[in-house]
């Protein structure tokens, strides 16, 4: 089931690489997704751990929500507060992140390949 349309995510044409990079190609988006896998749920989690500007984080979270990667769920009523959770679509990105880390370990960084899923 498609969650977003080509025109919304791709400037590079109608192919899988262009569509995926349109959504995931932003460094902040990948870091937000990575932290979501590590347990980040609230705005403050990403802001504090990434040092991402208040002018940038809301638009990145909204983009990931619009793409069906995250869902925003209220966790308290007064004051109103939200948590951001990975959807099934978002959880399916785990293998993508592992592949990126494996590639980076082999070709970019001079360090050993991760020994298990928690070595991120």
**pLDDT, tens only, 2-37:** 555 544 545 556 778 877 888 887 889 999 999 999
For residue 119, pLDDT over 50 is answered with: yes
- On whether residue 54 sits in a domain, the answer given is yes
pTM of the shown model: 0.78
Tens digit of pLDDT for each residue in 65-112? 999 999 999 999 999 999 999 999 999 999 999 998 888 888 886 655
The verdict on residue 23 lying in a domain is yes
| Domain span holding position 70 | 15-107
Q: In this structure, is residue 31 part of a structural domain?
A: yes
Query: Any idea what the CATH number is for the domain that residue 75 is in?
Result: 1.10.10.10
Assess whether pLDDT exceeds 70 at residue 120: no
The total domain count for the chain is 1
* Confidence at residue 117, expressed as pLDDT on a 0 to 100 scale: 54
* Residue 6, domain member (yes or no): no
Q: Is residue 38 part of a domain?
A: yes
**Domain contains 76:** yes
- CB 84, CB 63: distance < 8 Å: no
More confident residue, 49 or 4: 49
- Structural domain contains residue 7: no
58, pLDDT greater than 90: yes
Check residue 113 and give its pLDDT. 55
Is residue 22 a part of any domain in this protein?
Answer: yes
């Amino acid at each position: 089931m498609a969650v977003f349309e080509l025109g919304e995510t791709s400037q590079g044409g109608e192919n899988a690489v262009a569509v995926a990079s349109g959504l995931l190609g932003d460094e902040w988006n990948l870091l937000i997704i990575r932290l979501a896998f590590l347990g980040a749920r609230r705005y403050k989690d990403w802001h504090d751990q990434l040092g991402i500007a208040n002018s940038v984080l809301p638009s990145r979270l909204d983009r990931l929500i619009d793409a069906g990667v995250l869902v925003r769920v209220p966790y308290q009523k007064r004051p109103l507060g939200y948590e951001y959770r990975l959807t099934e679509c978002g959880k399916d990105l785990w293998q993508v992140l592992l592949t990126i880390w494996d590639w980076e370990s082999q070709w970019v960084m001079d360090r050993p390949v991760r020994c298990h899923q928690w070595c991120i």
